[in-house]
Amino acid sequence: MRQTIMIVITMMTARVTPRKKIRSYAYLPLACLMICGTSSEWAHIGPPYPIIQDQKIGPLTVAVWSNPDVGTGSFFVVIDPPAGGSIPPDLKVEVIVQPVSGRLPEKAYYAWRNKLHDRAEFKTEVPFDKEETWRVRVLLSSSQVSGEADTNVEVTPALLGRWDLLLFLLPFLGIGFLWFKAVSTRRQNRRARRKRVQERTPR
């Protein structure tokens, strides 16, 4: 993913001639699609949003961000330590989900830890089979602190269908149109210059 982004940045910022730079824009839609296709989190529309904020569990402050989509939903549990304190090294985080309707039993998913500078972030992915309201419980457990926070979330479809695909493609179609227009204008200018030169050349 990072390598793909670096390729795109290099392509767009490299010192090239105007002609080559125009050509480089033709590959921008493909590059964007590569980024989207190689990202494991490109399974939804829009970024994660907070479902729990500033929840106190013992001395820890917990926030939960999620993108609960049908198929695979992502959960990010961000934990801040108390002032002058630290996060227990043996802290474990579980995300437990169940439809509010009760049609399925609760199911727990362990989250893995991403180490950050001044806080801890735990991430997990949860499969959702249906668009409906789900109860989400976040459990923290360690030798020093334990507790939970809960909320309800609306699981939404990851894609809306053909219209969603059309909206996704519109920016790329626009870039392609601008590229073809730039190439066409360049060719017309080149023909006009040749024509002026021929008219000025004595026969």
Which stretches within the chain are classed as H helix?
2-13, 18-25, 28-38, 162-200
Pick the more confident residue, 54 or 167: 54
> What was the pLDDT predicted at 149?
95
What sign for the dihedral angle of Cα 159, 161, 162, 163? negative
| Type of residue numbered 91 | L
Least confident of 92-101, 137-146, 148-157, 193-202: 193-202
The pLDDT assigned to 119 comes to: 74
Residue range 127-155, pLDDT digits in tens:
999 999 999 999 999 999 999 999 999 99
Tens of pLDDT along 7-21? 444 544 444 445 554
